[in-house]
Chains A and B, each alone.
Chain A
Amino acid sequence: MVRFKSRYLLCEVCFSERSSLPLLEDKAIYNTVRAAVNRAHGDYGSAHFNIGVMVKYLNAHTGVVLIRCRKGHYQLIWSALTFITCLENRGQRVPCFFNCLHVGGTIRTCQKFLVKYNRQQLDRMLLDCKTDAEKQEVRRSILSCSLSAVREEEAYEDWSDDNEEI
């Protein structure tokens, strides 16, 4: 069965100031990555970027981005991500860097990893909490993470992803 295989790069955009987070937009990320691939790998890199690279998911609150690339040359795109120093968004330049958390073959595996990672982040936030009220909030969010809601979402994503492949 002929199927186009892809690699999904799950990245976190880290800023020096937390206030820049809500400005994330998928077009801005797409343009920044395209410019970085052009600068790092020239015309060859841009050609590989044009086929099959898409920003699939973006979470402006945590700064998590899911980028899809073709399996053959995902390392090329990944190496260009390391050289990104700032995001250009509507004329504003925000200094940041991309930290790749996970490389998966399907959206489902990346989502499973993201759920585990977010739980770890909540645990780390619990250590940093200063007031009791904050601690209660964080504990409540940890307890409310349930896998049944996630499984329904996964089934939907997988179905829509399979439809695209054909």
Chain B
Amino acid sequence: MSVFMDLNIISSNDKNRLQSIIETAAHLGYSTVAINYVIEPQQKKPEIPKPQSVSDIFDKFPIVQGKSSPIKVLNRLTIVASDASHFRPTNEYKNFDLVAVYPKTEKLFHCLYVFPHLSQAACMTFDVDIICIAVTEKQPFHFKRAPVNGAIDRGVFFEICYAAAIRDNIMRRYTISNAFVLMELCKGKNIIVSSGAERPLELRGPYDIANLGLVFSLSDGDAKAAVSTNCRSVLLHGETRATAFGVVHTMKKPQTPEKQEEETPAPKKAKIELV
């Protein structure tokens, strides 16, 4: 019994709608969902919204179908980028558990993966977890094998959303053809499939999505992994962004009142976790 995740639920200001989507996801068997805040930065300085605190949505989270634990809700940021300067990892990115980017130009796609360690002005370290593939239009540029393989080596995942395919016939064609193009290049590795749902009726169960993966020409094992193990890898990748090289995780230890009486402040202890 593997853990299924849906990492793309479009956020909205309507709390009831979010509640009903999350309840439907719990009923279908998803253990984790991520609320997606999409920004399209127009000016030079993008304004990044602060994510709504997860405990605001529900007092008591609905229990996942088939398990006894409540559903886990995360926050995710997606940046629709057409220029390299749009993506600037600031402290505000740390509020989100996952960061994704939707590249609109080939140059951006290229520099996302080929130069991960160069600190030039144009190609910064694009520290993302997920790269979204266009599903509502014909792919504006062609993928090349080198950046795709570079991304796979770095542990970045490609995401396909299926909500557009459910809404409209023409979108279905674009989704399937773009997915095919991606599969040819990456051979089915590092793919996640998520919903992109705006309403609870656009969600589908995890086994149904694994079957949809067969339509996208994924193999049986890859299709199931796209909904379960690959999503878990994305989550872990998102967690390592807050750590040093994924090994050391620091936490501020709260200062106890007695120590505050001393003249010299107590040193902050770093907690070392062995991963």
Contacts and interface: CB of A to CB of B under 8 A. Distances in A.
Contact of B201 (A16, A101, A120, A124): A16
Which DSSP category, helix, strand, loop or mixed, fits chain A's interface? mixed
Interface residues of A, number: 21
Given A120-B65, A127-B63, A78 B201 contact: no
A79 interface: yes
A75 B211 contact: yes
A79 B208 CA distance: 7
Interface in B209-238: 209, 211-212, 214-215
A95 B20 CA distance: 15
A101 B28 CA distance: 9
A99 B28 contact: yes
A85 B169 contact: no
A81 B63 CA distance: 26
Contacts of B172: 40, 83
Interface in A86-134: 95-101, 120, 124, 127
Contact of B204 (A40, A75, A95, A97): A97
A39 B172 CA distance: 11
A101 B65 CA distance: 11
B208 A100 contact: yes
Nearest to B213: A79
Contacts of A127: 63
A141 interface: no
A163 to B, nearest CB: 31
Contact of A100 (B165, B202, B207): B207
A21 interface: no
Contact of B208 (A40, A85, A99, A124): A99
Nearest to B60: A127
A58 interface: no
A148 B63 CA distance: 31
Contacts of B169: 39
B155 interface: no
B203 interface: yes
Contacts of A101: 205
B147 interface: no
B66 interface: yes
Contacts of A138: none
A14 interface: yes
A124 B63 contact: yes
B214 A120 contact: no
9 contacts: A75-B211, A78-B211, A82-B211, A83-B165, A85-B166, A99-B204, A99-B208, A100-B208, A101-B205
Interface of A: 14, 16, 39-40, 75, 78-79, 81-83, 85, 95-101, 120, 124, 127
Interface of B: 20, 24, 27-28, 63, 65-66, 165-167, 169, 172, 200-205, 207-209, 211-212, 214-215
Given A16-B200, A40-B172, 16 more contacts: A16-B20, A16-B201, A78-B208, A79-B215, A82-B166, A82-B209, A82-B212, A83-B166, A83-B172, A85-B167, A97-B201, A97-B203, A99-B28, A99-B204, A100-B211, A127-B63
